[in-house]
Amino acid sequence: MRRITRISCGYYRNSRHSFEHTAAAVRGLYTSTLKSTPFLQLENETQNIFQHLCSQQKRAYAPNTTAIANKCWNCKKEVPQDMTCSHCHHLQDVNSEVNYFELLQFPQSFALETSALTKRFRQLQSVVHPDKFSNKSSREQTNSADWSSLINKAYKTLLIPIERGQYLLKLNGRQIPQDNSALDKEFLMEMMERNEEVEEANSKKELEEIHERLSGELHEKVAVLAKVFADNNLEKATSLLVEMKYLLSIQKTIKNKLQSLMGS
Ligand SMILES: [Zn+2]
């Protein structure tokens, strides 16, 4: 089976159901032809099924999500999972499972210099900019648009502290709980009081003051979070991220209230 599983269709991998469907089709083909078909022919047939299934999708080729060594779609040489082939320099298919830190060539850590991140983001965007591929093949044009949107997504995720924190948790197989289980009662009481304070504030000045105070607290939490992640204390990181989420939601309420105050 090893050679068969090597042939992958990333598009299908993105969808569990479809992938299982494809896997079942391949298994069926494999078991029905195993005894009577020479191996090379079997592999070709398997490939044909994949190609057929993939071509039924809107795009004839799929984002590459396999972790196994890649072959450049153009020169067919084995290449690391980079954006461009090191041999022929053609833009490769997007790897949607790429680690965002690796994509932006940053160490996987919560602490990072945002100005350096922005600089790297702009460099990468200029490499894959669709304008540079307007005279190239349609495959490269599609790839440039795909890379461009993936780089955007990765940049936004790593730029915004709460997103970056949640992404790091995810890389560690965790996520923040959807309920209040990670919070202590004291914090919840405090948040309720904060909400009341916002409800009662009726002037622009009052609201802006609360907003500023919250910004200061968020700033402090981001600093603590960097230390906590550096110590690999994921438990504490989780509760800090939940707290930040609360503070951010109060800030959002303030912004909405300010907008309606200005509108009236
Ligand atoms: Zn190549």
pLDDT in tens, 184-217: 788 889 999 999 999 999 899 999 999 999 999 9
Distance from Cα 235 to the centre of ligand 1, integer Å: 44
Residue 245, pLDDT above cutoff 70: yes
Exposed e or buried b per residue across 38-53, where buried means at least 16 C-beta atoms within 10 angstroms of its C-beta:
eeeebeeebeebbeeb
Distance from Cα 72 to the centre of ligand 1, integer Å: 5
Distance from Cα 79 to the centre of ligand 1, integer Å: 8
Percent of the chain at pLDDT exceeding 90: 60
Work out the pLDDT band at 258, boundaries 50, 70, 90.
very high
Q: What is the pLDDT of residue 15?
A: 38
pLDDT tens profile 102-130: 999 999 999 999 999 999 999 999 999 98
Distance from Cα 118 to the centre of ligand 1, integer Å: 29
Q: What is the pLDDT of residue 182?
A: 63
pLDDT tens profile 34-60: 333 333 333 343 344 333 333 333 333
| Listed range (152-166, 178-192, 223-237) with the worst mean pLDDT | 178-192
Distance from Cα 92 to the centre of ligand 1, integer Å: 8
Query: Superfamily for 68-159?
Result: DnaJ domain (1.10.287.110)
Q: What is the pLDDT of residue 3?
A: 35
Instruction: Please state the domain extents for the chain.
Output: 68-159, 185-263
Q: If you count DSSP H runs as helices and E runs as strands, how many of each does the chain have, helices first?
A: 11, 2
Q: What is the mean pLDDT of the chain?
A: 78
Distance from Cα 99 to the centre of ligand 1, integer Å: 22
Exposed e or buried b per residue across 169-183, where buried means at least 16 C-beta atoms within 10 angstroms of its C-beta:
beeeeeebeeeeebb
The residue assigned the tokens 């909405």 is 256
Span 141-153, mean pLDDT? Answer: 96
Distance from Cα 85 to the centre of ligand 1, integer Å: 5
Helical (H) or strand (E) element with 79: strand 78-79
Distance from Cα 126 to the centre of ligand 1, integer Å: 20
Between these two residues, 158 and 35, which has the higher pLDDT value? 158
What is the radius of gyration, based on Cα positions, of the chain? 25
Please give the Cα distance from 35 to 41 (Å, whole number): 12
Distance from Cα 94 to the centre of ligand 1, integer Å: 14
Distance from Cα 75 to the centre of ligand 1, integer Å: 4
Read off the pTM.
Answer: 0.71
CA distances from 223 to 163, 228, 230, 244 (A): 15, 9, 11, 12
Please give the Cα distance from 54 to 60 (Å, whole number): 6
Span 242-248, mean pLDDT? Answer: 94
Query: Regarding the domain delimited by 185-263, which CATH topology (the fold level of the hierarchy) does it fall under?
Result: Monooxygenase (1.20.1280)
